[in-house]
Structure 1
Amino acid sequence: MTKFFAGLANRGMEADDLADVLTAVGPRLRTLRRERGITLTGLSETTGISASTLSRLESGRRRPTLELLLPLARAHGVQLDELVGAPMTGDPRVHMRPFVRHGQTFVPLTRHLGGLRAYKQIMPPGPYAHERPEQRAHEGYEWLYLLSGRLRIVLGEHDFMLAAGEAVEFDTRVPHGFGNPGPEPAEFLSLCGLQGERVHVRARPARRDSEPPEH
């Protein structure tokens, strides 16, 4: 048993619980890989772990070790605790864990349940790189700022590409859909007002008398 798994046991996990954690690692690895659209061969090239070893890990025929899980956690962009499904410690309101929905990774940035909710979202390339993204509509208002990559946005009849450093805001009652044409993941910040709350933009400071007027 590695020091990491021994540490899990020291955090209050019984032997049966630890066995359950180890058993669940394989299916979780398979789910993460498929959600990101990565083949065993592609993951093998990224991590340096043979495709046969990866296959045995996912099927439960190979016991996970720290040496195997560390490069896999880096490749999938998740914490090691999340990869093995370790129990949370401390205040759960502070230790907010990412979750995956519709193939995207959501990282909650707010603790309260009401009002505006903030997320960092990571969208892998595809599957709408060359086809029109599916559109959805619901109550609310959203403000989105792209940190890196590119993001295709279909908003009603409008279809445009957002580049890093650009932002968009819209009423979510208008049919909308997102796609990532690649080649890299798109990372963006999202503020969602599920009851229609909008971001309050403060006006810029007034011009000083010594500053020349703008034309």
Structure 2
Amino acid sequence: MDALDQVGPRLRAARKDRGWTLDDLATRAGMSPSTLSRLEAGKRQASLELLLPLTRQLGIRIDDLLPEAPADPRVHRAVQRREGMVIAPLTLDHSPVQAYKVTFPAAAEAPEPRVHDGYEWLYVLSGRLRLVLDDHAHIIERGEAAEFDTRLPHSLSATVDGPAEVLSIFSASGERMHTHGTP
């Protein structure tokens, strides 16, 4: 449905919300009831000359008669590079959870474990991920997933075999620690 096709029905809804008849609004706006009826039915083209007195009487803006432009669902956030990792955001900044594609460089040893509030879910897209969780090392292979409470001492790194690409989903507090570093 075209945006202009929605003007008439939205105008009718605003009039009815106030409990006004066609005659009530037409008289207040200084036009004939038949003109208003044709406008609401989409049989008369909306013009500023017609809409301004109507919206003033209804106490609404002309914009209120038009649908909002659909939001762009695509994610346009900058890739971050930190400590050899490439961190690509996959969710909008204001999403309730944050998802990232993280590429970990090959590493002979695991970094020092950290502890912080939050929860993390991950899925290995390629390579092998070393997850040290509460002093236990786990190798997460391509196609495997893991989840853990980040209040347990943990560290993430690729193995010496090569880089690892990981899809990570964080709670808000976990996202701050993993993608922005330690405060």
TM-score by length of 2: 0.51
Question: Match of 1:95?
Answer: 76
Say if 2:157 is the partner of 1:179. yes
Which residue identity is paired with 1:172? T
Q: Where do 1:97-176 residues align within 5 Å?
A: 97-126=78-107, 129=108, 131-176=109-154
Deviations, residues 111-162 of structure 1 (Å, cap 9, x unaligned): 1335210000001101xx1x34310111110000000001111001221111
Q: 1:119 aligns to what SS in structure 2?
A: strand
Residues 102 and 114 of structure 1, relative CA distance in 2, 3 Å threshold: same
| Superposition deviation, residue 101 in structure 1 | 1.9
- In structure 1, how many angstroms separate the alpha carbons of the residues matched to 2:166 and 2:154? 16
User: Structure 1 regions of 5+ residues with no counterpart?
Assistant: 1-90, 197-215
Q: 1:189 aligns to what SS in structure 2?
A: strand
Which residue identity is paired with 1:107? A
Is the 1:125–1:180 contact (alpha carbons within 8 Å) kept by the matching residues of 2? yes
Question: Percent identity, aligned pairs only?
Answer: 49
Say which one has the larger Rg: 2
Which residue identity is paired with 2:144? E
Is the 1:133–1:154 contact (alpha carbons within 8 Å) kept by the matching residues of 2? no
Deviations, residues 178-213 of structure 1 (Å, cap 9, x unaligned): 1222332100100000258xxxxxxxxxxxxxxxxx
Which residue identity is paired with 1:133? P
| Larger RCO of the pair (alpha carbons < 8 Å, separation 6+) | 2
Question: Match of 1:208?
Answer: none
- In structure 2, how many angstroms separate the alpha carbons of the residues matched to 1:189 and 1:158? 21
Is the 1:149–1:182 contact (alpha carbons within 8 Å) kept by the matching residues of 2? no
| Superposition deviation, residue 177 in structure 1 | 0.4
- In structure 2, how many angstroms separate the alpha carbons of the residues matched to 1:115 and 1:174? 23
Is the 1:142–1:169 contact (alpha carbons within 8 Å) kept by the matching residues of 2? yes
Q: 1:133 aligns to what SS in structure 2?
A: coil
Moved over 4 A (4+): none
Q: Where do 1:1-215 residues align within 5 Å?
A: 94-126=75-107, 129=108, 131-195=109-173
- In structure 1, how many angstroms separate the alpha carbons of the residues matched to 2:167 and 2:97? 13
Is the 2:75–2:90 contact (alpha carbons within 8 Å) kept by the matching residues of 1? no
| Superposition deviation, residue 97 in structure 1 | 1.6
Q: How many residues align?
A: 103
